Amino acid sequence: MTEIDLRPAALVTGAATRLGLAFARALAMQGFDIALHYHHSKSEAEAAIDEITALGVHCQGFQCDLAGEGVNTLVDEVVERFPALQLLINCASAYTAAKIAETTPALLKQQFEVNFFAPFLLSGRFASVVQRGAIINIIDNKIAFQQNNYAAYLLSKKALAELTTLSAAEFAPNIRVNGIAPGVVLPGSNRTEDYIAWRVQGIPAGRQGHVSELVAAMNYLLQNEFVTGQVLYVDGGESINQRGLNAEDYVPGSGS
Ligand SMILES: NC(=O)c1ccc[n+]([C@@H]2O[C@H](COP(=O)([O-])OP(=O)(O)OC[C@H]3O[C@@H](n4cnc5c(N)ncnc54)[C@H](OP(=O)(O)O)[C@@H]3O)[C@@H](O)[C@H]2O)c1
């Protein structure tokens, strides 16, 4: 094995764009070779591979529909190219709005396949072939709420949080498993500034989060070898901002 082959490698899913790319870039800057998974974003993946390779590490793209059969062989394909695989970041996600009563069987299946089945299957295979390493599941701070507008998405992320705990227990001591639950950090392009300002009103920190703060959370979870099975909320406290109805706030007559 060459010296280059011994460099640790990370598989980051959904890494051609947005948060996945930020995690992959940060890992490359720390000396990880990168297995850059993508689905539809081929040209973005090619640009990302060029950018990451320019940082002085190896980076190869792995195209795969995580809702398809390819999920079963992805880890083995990565290990064939990067035998020193040590890290799995489950970041890819499918995010479709629908209330429970509006959710079709196909949508329910698809959201769970991408957001839960894929991390489950990738984690299992990773733990089988990697002797020592770490898994980080990118979840969502909405798991602290009951928002039925994204019912299938939300339930798949809640299941992913449970998987984080369960797999951490099963894979210890050789593989640590943790999660990051981001809040408002990088909203979709359809979210207006006015929408974000409205969301910020519910965030105790009084602002939107920065991508660098999610990267810092990833770095912490990688560096602290005594932390496993945890979900770290990086959301400015939005998830703890739930008071419910309190007797002291009751104004007589307001219930009628
Ligand atoms: N952005 C935020 O502020 C925020 C807030 C809370 C939670 N999160 C979580 O953080 C993670 C990253 O967020 P993001 O906003 O960067 O995500 P995103 O842009 O919505 O999606 C990330 C990637 O997932 C991939 N993906 C979707 N369906 C797939 C499939 N069937 N097979 C394979 N890949 C598929 C897509 O890859 P291609 O483009 O290659 O098709 C996409 O680029 C997600 O898990 C999300 O739930 C983000």
Our answer on whether the CB atom of 148 is closer than 6 Å to any ligand 1 atom is: no
CA distance 189 to 77: 33
Q: What is the DSSP letter of 106?
A: H
Q: Residue 182 phi/psi, 5° resolution?
A: -75, 150
Residue 5 pLDDT > 60? no
Residue 12 pLDDT > 90? yes
Which residue's C-alpha comes closest to atom 20 of ligand 1? 93
Q: What is the DSSP letter of 140?
A: -
Our answer on whether the CB atom of 92 is closer than 6 Å to any ligand 1 atom is: yes
Q: Which residues contact 108 (CB under 8 A, 6 or more apart)?
A: 152
CA distance 115 to 248: 41
Q: Which two tokens stand for residue 57?
A: 């590490």
Residue 4 pLDDT > 60? no
- What does 10-66 look like in DSSP terms, one character per residue? EEETT-SSHHHHHHHHHHHHTT-EEEEEESS-HHHHHHHHHHHHTTTS-EEEEE--T
Q: Where are the domains of the chain?
A: 4-238
* Cβ-based neighbour number of residue 176 at 10 Å: 23
- Which helix (H) or strand (E) segment is 167 a member of? helix 151-171
Our answer on whether the CB atom of 160 is closer than 6 Å to any ligand 1 atom is: no
Confidence band, pLDDT 50/70/90 cuts, at residue 242? confident
pLDDT per residue over 88-131, tens digit each?
999 999 999 999 999 999 999 999 999 999 999 999 999 999 99
Which residue's C-alpha comes closest to atom 47 of ligand 1? 93
Q: Residue 63 forms beta bridges with which residues?
A: 38
CA 66 to ligand 1: nearest atom = 32
pLDDT on residue 11: 99
Most ligand 1 atoms within 8 A of CB, residue of 11, 12, 19 to mutate = 19
Residue 2 pLDDT > 60? no
pLDDT on residue 153: 98
CA 138 to ligand 1: nearest atom = 45
pLDDT per residue over 20-45, tens digit each?
999 999 999 999 999 999 999 999 99
Our answer on whether the CB atom of 16 is closer than 6 Å to any ligand 1 atom is: yes
Our answer on whether the CB atom of 40 is closer than 6 Å to any ligand 1 atom is: yes
Q: Which CATH architecture has domain 4-238?
A: 3-Layer(aba) Sandwich (3.40)
Q: Residues in the chain, how many?
A: 256
Is the Cβ–Cβ distance between 14 and 206 less than 8 Å? no
Assign 178 to helix, strand or coil.
Answer: strand
Our answer on whether the CB atom of 182 is closer than 6 Å to any ligand 1 atom is: yes
Mean pLDDT, all residues of the chain = 96
Mean pLDDT check: name the lowest of 64-68, 179-183, 193-197, 220-224. Answer: 193-197
Confidence band, pLDDT 50/70/90 cuts, at residue 249? confident
Give me ligand 1 centre to Cα 105, in Å: 21
CA distance 55 to 51: 7
pLDDT on residue 1: 45
pLDDT on residue 15: 98
pLDDT on residue 168: 98
Our answer on whether the CB atom of 39 is closer than 6 Å to any ligand 1 atom is: yes
Count of alpha carbons within 13 angstroms of residue 32, beta-carbon side:
22
CA 185 to ligand 1: nearest atom = 3
Our answer on whether the CB atom of 215 is closer than 6 Å to any ligand 1 atom is: no
pLDDT per residue over 55-80, tens digit each?
999 999 999 999 999 999 999 999 99
Q: Which two tokens stand for residue 138?
A: 């990118």
Our answer on whether the CB atom of 186 is closer than 6 Å to any ligand 1 atom is: yes
Which residue's C-alpha comes closest to atom 14 of ligand 1? 19
CA distance 229 to 237: 20
CA 45 to ligand 1: nearest atom = 40
Confidence band, pLDDT 50/70/90 cuts, at residue 189? confident
User: Strands 33-38 and 231-234, how do they pair?
Assistant: unpaired
* Strand ranges of the sheet holding 9-12, from the earlier edge strand across to the other edge: 59-63, 33-38, 9-12, 85-90, 133-138, 175-182, 231-234
Q: Which two tokens stand for residue 87?
A: 């890290």
